Amino acid sequence: MERRLRIDGHTLLAGVTGWPVAHSRSPLMHNFWLEQRGINGAYVPLPVVPGSFDVAVRGLQAAGFRGVNVTIPHKESAYRIVEEHGRLDRSAQRSGSVNTLVFAPDGQIEGYSTDGDGFVANVEAHGIPVKSGRALLLGAGGAARAIAASLLDRGVDVAVANRTRARADALAAQLSGIAVIDWAQAGDVLPSCQFLVNTTSIGMDGGADATFPLDLGRADAGLVVCDIVYVPRQTALLRQAASHGLRTVDGLGMLIHQAGLGFEKWFGAAPEIGPAVEALLDADLHCAHAG
């Protein structure tokens, strides 16, 4: 679908801020949805150098933007500015992070974390209910905390393994109910797990060359293996899981679902999350990879 963008005094504006931000697929996705829904809006990349985030956010708010997505390296700054001057949604409080800012009509800045709920929505879109059982999370960064919080809130027991044990311990201290597993022993808990979730960059194109301490042959036959990496869509972990007959969920759907939550808050309509936008992003990723 060709985007015939129109800008006038009634155009609703949102964007994504980070440094760098040129690689983001969010403008492609959101502008596709705007065209689909017939909304007079535009979503733009907003590169903001480190140290200028607060000024940029206040400027965007004053200029009439509806809100922004926040990516590296500004997520901590986003949490702080909302904590000090706005309203933190429970999702942000639970995850300890903010990736979506909404500039409310009353002048307040609202902060949300959509990663965890986006992850769960993606898994459930594959016909897999997320309401009980046990999950093993690999990694202890911001995405891991957001996903862990959403899983805990849905009655899933969560264990975390990270290459640096101290980071996993810190995550468990922030979110009660998490068990910490040594990285080298992560495979020992697989037989009791219903979900395995990779939140690290292992397997990402251009990422660090590393392996998981896992033998998926030991897993329960009902294990669902999820990877939040989406470049490539079929990571080595997912290919290994498929070779053992396990169900797999790749990371592209999480990107789409977490974005849809922000779109609805800014533009007042739910986007169509389905094969059309997935095909658009998949084709774009393939083109970039081929280039």
- Pure H helices in the chain: 26-37, 53-62, 75-85, 90-95, 115-125, 142-153, 165-174, 236-243, 252-267, 275-290
Q: Is 112 annotated as a binding residue?
A: no
Of 235, 237, 255, nearest to 246 by C-alpha is 237
Nearest Cα residue to 262 out of 55, 78, 26, 77: 26
Angle at 275 between CA 274 and CA 278, to 5 degrees: 95
Q: Is 80 annotated as a binding residue?
A: no
279 is in an annotated binding site: no
Say which of 30, 66, 74, 75 is annotated catalytic: 75
Q: Does 146 show up as a binding residue in the annotation?
A: no
The answer on whether 132 is annotated among ligand-binding residues is no
**247 annotated as a binding-site residue:** no
Task: Tell whether 99 is in a known binding site.
Answer: yes
Establish whether 169 is an annotated binding residue.
Answer: no
Tokens of 13: 């504006």
**How far is Cα 66 from Cα 104, in angstroms, rounded to an integer?**
8
**CA 175/CA 152 separation, integer angstroms:** 9
The answer to the question of whether 43 is labelled as a binding residue is no
Q: Is residue 75 among the annotated active site residues?
A: yes
Q: Binding residue per annotation — 140?
A: yes
Residue 258 labeled ligand binder: yes
Type of residue found at 286: H
Has 176 been labeled as part of a binding site?
Answer: no
Does the annotation place 147 within a ligand binding site? no
CB 225 within 8 A of CB 249: yes
Q: CA nearest 144: which of 80, 201, 81? A: 201
Over the range 193-227, which residues count as b (16 or more CB within 10 Å of their CB) and which as e? bbbbbbbbebbbeeeeeeebebebeebeeebbbbb
Question: Is 143 assigned a ligand-binding role in the annotation?
Answer: yes
Cα separation, 77 vs 74, in Å, equals 5
Active-site residue list: 75
Binding residues: 24-26, 71, 99, 115, 139-143, 162-167, 228, 230, 251, 258
Binding residues for NADP(+): 139-143, 162-167, 228, 251
Binding residues for shikimate: 24-26, 71, 99, 115, 230, 258
